[in-house]
Amino acid sequence: MAFKVGLLGLGTVGTGTVEILRDPAQRHPLLQELVIHKVGVRSLDKARSLNLSADLLTTDLDAIVTDPEIDIVVEVMGGLEPARSLILKALAHKKHVVTANKAAIARFGDEIFTAASEAGVYVLLEAAVGGGIPVIEPLKQSLCANRINTVIGIVNGTTNYILTRMQTEGGDFGEILADAQQLGYAEADPTADVDGLDAADKIAILASLAFSGRIKLSEVYCEGIRQIGAADIAYAEKLGFVIKLLAIAKRESDQQLQVRVHPTLVPKTHPLASVNDVYNAILIEGDPIGQVMFFGRGAGAGPTASAVVSDILNIAAILKVGRGQVTQADGTPLLDPLLACSHQHYCTIAPMSELVTRFYARFLTQDYPGVIGKLGTCFGDHQVSLESVVQAGIRDGLAEIVVVTHDVREGNFRKALDEIQRMTTVANIASVLRVL
């Protein structure tokens, strides 16, 4: 039997995918039943490392997603359009879809999964989060008996690389970003990574799976790492923490979730604290499993293609045994309830002002007695209980004061900050970070 694959895109991930498909030795024997039928590219003239026969390549992507011979469409072109339209058209033509496109899934997941369900086909997306690290499929299958309470991930390799280097070298954000761009670890336009947008896409997808509901991306709180200074890394270190960009989804109550991305002080003993460089890790806490963590390289051609091809094989395995005999009212085959997306409601996400968390803040103030007292009184007035207030040193003639709170309501903390901002003795609120 042969299963025909149509590939949309032949960039890094597409090339990695073709490389696995053409080298099945010592991999799963089912790979030998996959055939690359067409590969859609932007230009036929581009020089490529792969030696693909010319009749495989086409610039007519529409023809791929409507080709009656193709069983599985693999979208590895990235971006929002035409990726979204092509995926929807492929589904309308009853093709299974494998995608690595976190941005499209996070934004258009509702229409994509509704279309897939109507067509009776699968959309698999293991590669969209954590590169090759298995986390989508475990959430759907291996952990499906659990009530998931928390998902916390380091899901962006670029920011983790920058933060790791800031920590080991003591450098500032700007210089290390520039170096990372030179080395190819950060893109020329680093916004999606360093401002947390990529991580927000990914946690929206994970939250949707973990809590069986749709997530409005616009409701995901998102804060990047630009504000972090070498001083913060150093003070965090002294206090027993490292700073990581965490993507967090948490069941707050039966009705509400928290879904947020922000730099966070992580205790050095925490399993995520030692996840360094471009590595990603996702920690899931469920009942009754407790904590499980998945760790690996979160990006790159090889890891991402590993996930793409595994998804292709998962669909081929389903096709191989023949679709199930049970059909929906209109005759389309019923989808496996673990593999398909069955939820349609939107989750309610709690506003950040209601978040209860610990905070770290660094202030630059006039250097005279009583300033710490004024800060402490102000926090106290807003029910913000402090764990420590330390005058850490003098910077540019100003006193540098580092505050760590107990668990407090974010709304209260922000009100105190507003008031502090207006104090004439306070020159600058240099940084505010949450503590895990």
Residue 56 or residue 334: which is nearer to a copy of itself going by CB? 334
Q: Are 416 and 359 in contact (CB under 8 A)?
A: no
Among 47, 183, 188, 321, interactor with a copy of itself by CB under 8 A: 321
Closest CB to a copy of itself among residues 192, 301: 301
Rounded Cα–Cα distance for residues 206 and 352 (Å) = 19
Burial class (CB within 10 angstroms; exposed 0-12, middle 13-18, buried 19+) of 331: exposed
Task: For a copy of itself, give the closer residue by CB, 125 or 364.
Answer: 125
* Beta-sheet pairing, 398-405 with 408-409: unpaired
Cβ pair 229, 166 in contact under 8 A:
no
75 binds a copy of itself (CB under 8 A): no
Q: Can you tell me the distance from the alpha carbon of 302 to that of 212, in angstroms, rounded to the nearest whole number?
A: 30
**CB distance 41 to 59 below 8 Å:** yes
- Name the one range near a copy of itself by CB under 8 A: 84-92, 131-139, 228-236, 361-369: 131-139
Q: Is 120 assigned to a binding site?
A: no
Q: How far apart are CA 185 and CA 356, in angstroms?
A: 34
User: Is 301 one of the binding residues for a copy of itself (CB under 8 A)?
Assistant: yes
Q: Is 336 in the site for a copy of itself (CB under 8 A)?
A: yes
Positions marked catalytic: 202
Closest distance of CB 177 from a copy of itself, Å: 25
Site for a copy of itself in 250-269 (CB under 8 A): 251, 254
Q: How far apart are CA 162 and CA 158, in angstroms?
A: 6
Find the binding residues for a copy of itself in span 375-394 (CB under 8 A).
Answer: none
Give the span between the Cα atoms of 281 and 121, in whole angstroms: 30
Residue 138, interface with a copy of itself (CB under 8 A)?
yes
Residue 387 CB, shortest distance to a copy of itself, in Å, is 26
The reply on whether position 27 binds a copy of itself by CB under 8 A is: yes
Question: What is the smallest separation between the CB atom of 430 and a copy of itself, expressed in angstroms?
Answer: 32
Point out which span in 88-96, 219-227, 281-289, 396-404 binds a copy of itself (CB under 8 A): 281-289
Q: Looking at 81-168, which runs of residues are DSSP E strands? A: 96-99, 123-124, 147-154
User: CA 310 → CA 154, 205, 301, 323, distances in Å?
Assistant: 23, 19, 14, 19
Matching residue, tokens 């949309």 = 8
Which residues of this chain interact with a copy of itself, rule CB under 8 A? 16, 19-20, 25-31, 126, 132-134, 137-138, 141-147, 212, 251, 254, 271, 274, 286-297, 300-303, 305-310, 312-314, 317-318, 320-326, 333-339, 342
Q: Which residues line the annotated binding site for L-homoserine?
A: 187
Q: Which residues line the annotated binding site for NADPH?
A: 102
Q: Which residues line the annotated binding site for NADP(+)?
A: 8-15
